[in-house]
Amino acid sequence: MTRLRRARCILALTGSGISAESGLPTFRGTGGLWHDHRVEELASPAGFARDPVLVWSWYNQRLAAHRRASPNAGHYALAHLETLCADFTLATQNVDSLHKRAGSRNLLELHGNLREARCSSCDARRPLDASGLPLDEIEHECGGRMRPDIVWFGEPLPRGAWLQAERAASRADVILVVGTSAVVYPAAALATRYNASAYVAEINLEETPISAGVDFVLRGPAARELPRIVNALSS
């Protein structure tokens, strides 16, 4: 807590675990999205080229679930923490927009978001409402195809967001790693590979590949642990 109180620069890295208590599934493990679905079919350029209707049907379902969900106390705690620290960055791997809806401002969506579709050929964009993209509108007038504005496996992260995240990781005094299995790179590298002197704290229900190397571990749900930390800081 002392390290957090003294921190001049904080980076928080979040993954799908922070949205678990909003009712959204994580990716790995029992009940996870990748337990019942094949990554290569649904989250790769090759899968999209093979069956764009299947891919959009899946993302439309996820988008509807995101819109039904509400930010939880963990999302709000991070938005509050931002108001207590002059140099705060939140890098998320999530595409569910719950951090944005909770009020986080300096937010880097490393894997994109599901608020827009974009044409894979001419980059034209269109906003998505809760019903997603109509399946008969996947083909774009330019001859390309509309795709979700997210990062798929094998694709680079959005360059601007990634550079900002790297810089925030390099200068951070404290790095909070919340609700991520820390197995997907390059995002996971932000936790431990950019700054040997940062104090790294992990908040997760389970052990992850980085647990042994971090400075502090909180084993508990993010929606409980984050408000505890942030309330103690602001009192």
Which residues are the active-site residues? 111
CB of 46 to ligand OAD, least distance (A): 14
For residue 225, the tally of other CB atoms under 10 A from its CB is 21
DSSP-derived secondary structure for 173-194: SEEEEES--S-STTTTHHHHSS
> Is position 227 an interface residue for ligand OAD (rule: CB under 6 A)?
no
Residue 123 has, within 13 A of its CA and on its CB side, a CA count of 0
Cβ nearer to ligand OAD, comparing 25 with 103: 25
| Residues touching ligand OAD, count (CB under 6 A) | 24
Q: Does 89 bind ligand OAD (CB under 6 A)?
A: no
Q: Pattern 21-50, binding to ligand OAD, x per CB under 6 A? A: x----xxx---x----------x-------
Q: Which residues in 150-164 are b (16+ Cβ under 10 Å) and which e?
A: bbbeeeebbeebbeb
**Which lies closer to ligand OAD via its Cβ, residue 93 or residue 195?**
93
Candidates 89, 97, 113, 181; binder of ligand OAD (CB under 6 A) is 181
Least distance (Å) from ligand OAD to the CB of residue 121?
A: 21
Can you tell me which of 13, 20, 175, 177 binds ligand OAD, judged by CB under 6 A? 20
Supply the DSSP string of 63-98, one letter for each residue: HHHHHH----HHHHHHHHHHHH-SEEEEEE---S-H
| DSSP structural state of residue 43 | S
Only one residue has tokens 């991070």, namely 78
Q: Is 189 in the site for ligand OAD (CB under 6 A)?
A: no
With CB under 6 A as the contact rule, the residue among 208, 210, 229, 230 that binds ligand OAD is 208
Contact 55, 47 (CB under 8 A): yes
Closest separation between CB of residue 32 and ligand OAD, Å?
A: 5
CB–CB of 110/93 below 8 Å? yes
Q: Within a 13 Å sphere around the CA of 156, how many CA atoms are in the beta-carbon half? A: 6
Kindly indicate which of the ranges 11-19, 100-108, 135-143, 227-235 contains the residues binding ligand OAD, using the contact rule CB under 6 A: 11-19
Cα separation, 54 vs 125, in Å, equals 21
184 binds ligand OAD per the rule CB under 6 A? yes
Structure tokens, 187 = 């995002």
**Residues that bind ligand OAD in the complex, under the rule CB under 6 A:** 15-17, 20-21, 26-28, 32, 43, 93, 111, 151, 179-181, 184, 203-206, 208, 221-222
